[in-house]
A and B are shown apart, each in its own frame.
Chain A
Amino acid sequence: MNQFKYISPKTKDEVLEILKEENIRACLVAGCTNVLPNIRDKKIVSKVLVNISDIEELKGISKEQDKICIGPLTTIAELINSEVILKEGKGLHQAAEQFADPIVRNSATVGGNLVDASPAADMAVPLLALDAILKIESVERKRDVRLKDFFIGPEKTILQEDEMITGIEFESSNINKNGYFIKLGLRKAMAIAVASIAVNLEVRENKIARIRIAMGSVAPTPIRLTVIEEFLKNNEVNDGLIEEAINKVHEEVDPISDIRASEEYRRYVSGILFKRAFEKLTL
């Protein structure tokens, strides 16, 4: 029989105690934007629904010395309204503006999008390019995990059953301030990405000093294109370099065909998205 329970803890520590006790029976709910459809589709059954949406200590965006800290309950709308995010993580700001639709953005949270771990996750892609770090806690321990190491498969992460994300951080730096995000969807709103890209770039004396490239919907998880990053580093910015990089993009992505696009199209358009994002950052 499908039986749910519901509790509404008031503090982070209470949540962690509940996770320790209930383990796989617990399902954290914040914006609930993916949880409820999953309950309706019977993908989530007989869980303890733990409402964390009112826990203030898990909210907020702040700049502390040399890093930006985002609470996991920060909504996508709050990212858009944040001067700090606009200035320090432009790619993330652009992704937030293209996320779902204006109503869903009021409820959906950054933490929720990461934990859901869709290969298309619109928050994961720019945060990967920002080299974000996740603060993860359980009653027993605290650990920092680079977002790069967080996703292990479609809708699968390294998060243990008794753990939750308590913070998302990225550096305040020149490379992070110089970012661009593009989402290719079949419509202008409420679209799951056919392919998406975030590029963060630091150029010195016309050479690529540092670069990070992340893509969504072209692999089992959101990914960093580290082979191309290595290839591009320390090279002079010119057309020949871009054309070579585009070919390498075709090789490094690992897309599938699904109802939104074919594998061939995704592979092809990945190169175009890289070129467009790169040109936005260098012209």
Chain B
Amino acid sequence: MEEHRVELTVNGERISSATKPEESLLKFLRRNDFTEVKCGCEKGECGTCTVIINKKTVKSCIMLALQTNGKEIWTAKGLEKQELGRRLQESFVNTGAIQCGFCTPGMIITAKNYLDQNPLPDKEEIKKAISGNLCRCTGYKKIVDAIYAVAVENQK
């Protein structure tokens, strides 16, 4: 069985670890204890595995680990290292946008990357921005409200 090494940066830290050619980034991250990246559908539909790579959101279940060699990845655990990440986490808690919590890591990652590039969206734009992240619990309203609350803060 072919073995390869992946060297990349996760949440600001250099990681070097072995992998197989066909291993997904999701499985690779979880094997290396980044279990905040959740495994949902493994088909690229639910979005719970979403991470940020070089300032773009990516569904890690449909990317090969080896394709991230030399790249910079941010997961939900890295959110606390950046102000916008912390603000979003607080807003989700304060707004009550979390029920089972399974969609939350991917949802906040998507929201963070979106607000980094579009700091002043309206609610319709937010809905489109999170259309790749499924939630089976909340009905989305409070998630949109939580993200919008941060956008409103941005305006001040």
Q: Does A32 contact B132, Cβ atoms closer than 8 Å?
A: no
Also in contact, A8 and B69, with CB within 8 A (given A36-B63, A102-B131, A107-B62):
yes
Query: What CA separation (Å) do A33 and B24 show in the bound complex?
Result: 11
Of the 9-residue stretches B10-18, B42-50, B81-89, B136-144, which lies at the interface with chain A?
B42-50
Q: Does A4 contact B21, Cβ atoms closer than 8 Å?
A: yes
Is B108 in the interface zone, CB < 8 Å from A?
no
Q: Does A5 contact B58, Cβ atoms closer than 8 Å?
A: no
Is A241 in the interface zone, CB < 8 Å from B?
no
Q: Does A36 contact B64, Cβ atoms closer than 8 Å?
A: yes
Query: What CA separation (Å) do A29 and B64 show in the bound complex?
Result: 9
Is A62 in the interface zone, CB < 8 Å from B?
no
Is A49 in the interface zone, CB < 8 Å from B?
yes
Q: Does B2 contact A3, Cβ atoms closer than 8 Å?
A: yes
Query: What CA separation (Å) do A4 and B66 show in the bound complex?
Result: 12
Q: Does A37 contact B62, Cβ atoms closer than 8 Å?
A: yes
Q: Does B132 contact A4, Cβ atoms closer than 8 Å?
A: no
Q: Which of A40, A49, A102 contacts B132 (CB 8 A)?
A: A102
Also in contact, A37 and B64, with CB within 8 A (given A103-B59, A106-B58, A190-B131):
no
Is B22 in the interface zone, CB < 8 Å from A?
yes
Query: Please, what's the 1-or-0 string for B36-74, where 1 marks a CB less than 8 Å from any CB in chain A?
Result: 000000111101001000001111011110110100000
Q: Does B1 contact A3, Cβ atoms closer than 8 Å?
A: yes
Is A51 in the interface zone, CB < 8 Å from B?
yes
Also in contact, A51 and B58, with CB within 8 A (given A33-B44, A37-B44):
no
Also in contact, A189 and B64, with CB within 8 A (given A6-B4, A37-B42):
no
Is B129 in the interface zone, CB < 8 Å from A?
yes
Is A104 in the interface zone, CB < 8 Å from B?
yes
The smallest beta-carbon distance between A59 and chain B, in angstroms, is 14
A40 — nearest CB in chain B belongs to which residue? B42
Residues of A near B22 (CB, < 8 A) are: 4, 6, 39, 49
Q: Does A6 contact B47, Cβ atoms closer than 8 Å?
A: no
Q: Does B131 contact A189, Cβ atoms closer than 8 Å?
A: yes
Range class of the A interface residue count:
20 to 34
Q: Does B2 contact A104, Cβ atoms closer than 8 Å?
A: no
Residues in A1-34 with C-beta less than 8 Å from chain B: 3-6, 8, 29, 31-33
Q: Does A107 contact B131, Cβ atoms closer than 8 Å?
A: no
Q: Which of B2, B44, B50, B132 contacts A6 (CB 8 A)?
A: B2
The smallest beta-carbon distance between A33 and chain B, in angstroms, is 5
Residues in B105-151 with C-beta less than 8 Å from chain A: 110, 114, 128-129, 131-133
Residues in A40-83 with C-beta less than 8 Å from chain B: 40, 49, 51, 53, 77
Q: Does B66 contact A32, Cβ atoms closer than 8 Å?
A: no
A101 — nearest CB in chain B belongs to which residue? B132
A77 — nearest CB in chain B belongs to which residue? B56
Q: Which of A4, A32, A40, A189 contacts B63 (CB 8 A)?
A: A32
Also in contact, A49 and B21, with CB within 8 A (given A36-B61, A101-B47, A102-B129):
yes
Query: What CA separation (Å) do A40 and B23 show in the bound complex?
Result: 10
Also in contact, A188 and B4, with CB within 8 A (given A51-B64, A103-B47):
no
Can you add 14 more A-B contacts, CB < 8 Å, to A5-B2, A102-B57, A103-B50? A3-B2, A4-B21, A8-B66, A8-B67, A32-B67, A33-B59, A36-B61, A49-B21, A49-B22, A51-B64, A102-B132, A103-B132, A104-B62, A189-B132
- 24 example contacts (A-B, Cβ-Cβ < 8 A) are as follows A3-B1, A4-B21, A6-B4, A8-B67, A8-B69, A29-B64, A31-B62, A32-B63, A33-B62, A36-B44, A36-B61, A37-B62, A39-B22, A49-B21, A51-B67, A102-B57, A102-B110, A102-B114, A102-B129, A103-B47, A104-B132, A106-B57, A189-B131, A190-B45
Mark B residues whose CB is within 8 Å of A.
Answer: 1-2, 4, 20-22, 24, 42-45, 47, 50, 56-59, 61-64, 66-67, 69, 110, 114, 128-129, 131-133
Mark A residues whose CB is within 8 Å of B.
Answer: 3-6, 8, 29, 31-33, 36-37, 39-40, 49, 51, 53, 77, 100-104, 106-107, 188-190
